[in-house]
């Protein structure tokens, strides 16, 4: 199902336990770039936000931190993390992390071909497939953090790499993450390639941020799912990104 493309710096960690056998027909989703859990109040906000969620997609997530108990000891979620960077002095790892009340039937992860300048950090994608209630098809969830501070050519290469994960999947898709679409050229290319895979962007009412160049960087795209409700939690400030909650249905009229 997934093409194999691995890199020496990659590391995958699977933690926790998922109590359910399948997802649906309604799926509660949380998307959040948690800013490496650096701001005060993150812990309380996280506990409230994940309540009753079936899928949780985090970017700039951490491991080997004081918050590990939420993941390694979880009896509500299976957590899969794809590491993009490890800070050697502290041993703290950062990357994308997906939590689910259902164990993934398949998973794949890959680093960007290019690195960001100065930090030499690569950015990650994590693709996971989950069984759906009453359906033969599985749900493909792609959690990604796109490369930043690079030329459009390098950004395009990473985005193309992410969309490769969809090529052999004909079932429902949830593609979400921090896509760093802070200029028109990046946004237009993203929208164009999404259309070729019959993906529709979830419409969100939200506020722009000065440090995001007054652009929206976090996006959710769906295929084969009905969007029931979507909310941006603009009152939460324990990250430099607003959390997004989403309810989707696997029953499409």
The answer to whether residue 109 sits within a structural domain is: yes
pLDDT in tens, 176-209: 999 988 789 989 999 999 999 999 999 987 665 4
* pTM as predicted: 0.92
Give the pLDDT confidence score for residue 205 in this predicted structure: 78
* pLDDT at residue 215 is higher than 80: no
State percent of the chain over pLDDT 70. Answer: 92
**Across residues 148-168, what is the average pLDDT?**
93
**Across residues 120-132, what is the average pLDDT?**
94
What are the distances in angstroms from CA 55 to CA 27, 79, 90?
7, 10, 29
CATH classification of the domain holding 23? 3.60.10.10
Q: Which of 173, 148, 155 is nearest to 60 (CA)?
A: 148
- Torsion angle, CA of 169/173/178/180, rounded to 10 degrees? 60
The answer to whether residue 2 sits within a structural domain is: no
Boundaries of domain holding 207? 11-249
Tell me what the pLDDT averaged over the chain comes to. 90
The answer to whether residue 27 sits within a structural domain is: yes
The answer to whether residue 6 sits within a structural domain is: no
The answer to whether residue 200 sits within a structural domain is: yes
- Name the β-bridge partners of 152: none
pLDDT in tens, 131-147: 999 999 999 999 999 99
Higher per-residue pLDDT: 6 or 106: 106
CA triple 127-206-35, angle to 5 deg? 50
The answer to whether residue 4 sits within a structural domain is: no
* pLDDT at residue 81 is higher than 90: yes
**Across residues 34-51, what is the average pLDDT?**
95
The answer to whether residue 48 sits within a structural domain is: yes
Tell me the chain's radius of gyration from C-alpha atoms. 17
What are the distances in angstroms from CA 252 to CA 21, 182, 199, 227?
21, 32, 14, 9
User: At a CB cut-off of 8 Å and minimum separation 6, what does 43 contact?
Assistant: 37, 67
Give the pLDDT confidence score for residue 3 in this predicted structure: 45
Query: Could you say which DSSP state residue 93 is in?
Result: E
**82 within 8 A of 96, measured Cβ to Cβ:** yes
Give the pLDDT confidence score for residue 13 in this predicted structure: 94
* pLDDT at residue 6 is higher than 60: no
The answer to whether residue 3 sits within a structural domain is: no
H-run or E-run covering 33: strand 26-33
**Across residues 106-119, what is the average pLDDT?**
90
| Structural domain count of the chain | 1
Confidence category of residue 91, pLDDT binned at 50, 70, 90: confident
User: At a CB cut-off of 8 Å and minimum separation 6, what does 153 contact?
Assistant: none
């Amino acid at each position: 199902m997934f093409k194999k493309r691995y890199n020496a710096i990659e590391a995958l960690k699977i933690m926790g336990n998922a109590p359910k056998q399948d997802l649906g027909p309604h799926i509660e989703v949380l998307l959040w770039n948690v800013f490496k859990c650096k701001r005060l109040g993150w812990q309380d906000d996280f506990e409230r936000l994940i309540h009753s969620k079936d899928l949780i997609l985090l970017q700039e997530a951490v491991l080997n931190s004081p918050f590990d108990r939420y993941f390694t000891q979880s009896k509500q979620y299976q957590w899969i993390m794809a590491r993009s960077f490890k800070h050697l002095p502290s041993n703290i790892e950062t990357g994308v992390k997906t939590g689910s009340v259902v164990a993934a039937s398949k998973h794949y992860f890959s680093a960007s071909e290019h690195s960001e300048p100065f930090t030499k950090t690569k950015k990650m994608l994590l693709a996971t497939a989950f069984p759906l209630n009453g359906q033969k098809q599985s749900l493909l969830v792609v959690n990604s953090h796109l490369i930043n501070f690079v030329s459009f050519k390098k950004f395009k290469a990473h985005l193309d790499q992410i969309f490769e994960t969809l090529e052999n999947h004909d079932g429902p898709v949830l593609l979400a993450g921090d896509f760093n679409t802070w200029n028109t050229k990046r946004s237009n290319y993203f929208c164009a390639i999404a259309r070729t895979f019959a993906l529709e962007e979830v419409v969100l009412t939200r506020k722009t941020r000065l440090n995001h160049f007054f652009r929206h960087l976090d996006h959710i795209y769906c295929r084969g799912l009905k969007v029931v409700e979507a909310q941006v939690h603009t009152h939460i400030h324990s990250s430099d990104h607003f959390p997004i909650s989403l309810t989707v249905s696997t029953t499409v009229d």
